[in-house]
Amino acid sequence: MIWRKTKIFLEMIKIEHTLFALPFAFMGALLGSVVKFHHLPHWSQIGWILLAMIGARSAAMGLNRVIDKVFDAKNPRTSMRAIPAGLISSMEAIIFIIISMVVLFWAAANLSPICVKLLPIAVFLLVFYSYTKRFTWACHLYLGMTVALAPLGGWVAVTNEFSWTAFVFYVAIVFWLAGFDTIYATQDVDFDRKEGLHSIPARFGIPNALRIARWFHLVTAAGFIGLFFLTNLSWVYLAGILIAYALLMYEHFIVKPTDLTRLNTAFFTLNSTLSIVVFVFTLIDLVVFAG
What is residue 289's predicted lDDT score, i.e. its pLDDT?
Answer: 63
Question: What is the rounded CA–CA span in Å between residue 156 and residue 28?
Answer: 8
Question: What is the rounded CA–CA span in Å between residue 139 and residue 141?
Answer: 5
What is residue 224's predicted lDDT score, i.e. its pLDDT?
Answer: 97
What is residue 39's predicted lDDT score, i.e. its pLDDT?
Answer: 87
* CA 285 to each of CA 68, 204, 234: distance values in angstroms, whole numbers, following the listed order: 42, 41, 7
- State which amino acid sits at residue 28: G
What is residue 291's predicted lDDT score, i.e. its pLDDT?
Answer: 52
- State which amino acid sits at residue 138: A
Nearest to 28 by CA among 155, 150, 160: 155
What is residue 264's predicted lDDT score, i.e. its pLDDT?
Answer: 86
Question: What is the rounded CA–CA span in Å between residue 264 and residue 268?
Answer: 6
What is residue 138's predicted lDDT score, i.e. its pLDDT?
Answer: 97
Q: Is 6 exposed, middle or buried (0-12, 13-18, 19+ CB in 10 A)?
A: exposed
Taking only the tens of pLDDT, the chain with its 291 residues reads 667 777 877 787 777 767 788 999 999 999 999 988 988 999 999 999 999 999 998 898 889 999 999 999 999 998 888 898 888 899 999 999 999 999 999 999 999 888 888 888 888 988 899 899 999 999 999 999 999 999 999 999 999 998 999 999 999 999 999 999 999 999 999 999 999 999 999 999 999 999 999 999 999 999 999 999 999 899 999 999 999 999 999 999 999 998 888 988 888 889 999 999 999 999 999 988 655
Question: What is the rounded CA–CA span in Å between residue 194 and residue 106?
Answer: 42
Question: What is the rounded CA–CA span in Å between residue 69 and residue 64?
Answer: 8
Which string of DSSP letters, residue by residue, matches 220-284?
HHHHHHHHHHHS---HHHHHHHHHHHHHHHHHHHH-BTTB-TTHHIIIIIHHHHHHHHHHHHHHH
Q: How far is CA 242 from the centre of its chain?
A: 21
**Residue partners of 83: CB distance under 8 A and separation at least 6:** 12, 65, 66, 69, 72, 89, 90, 93
What is residue 172's predicted lDDT score, i.e. its pLDDT?
Answer: 97
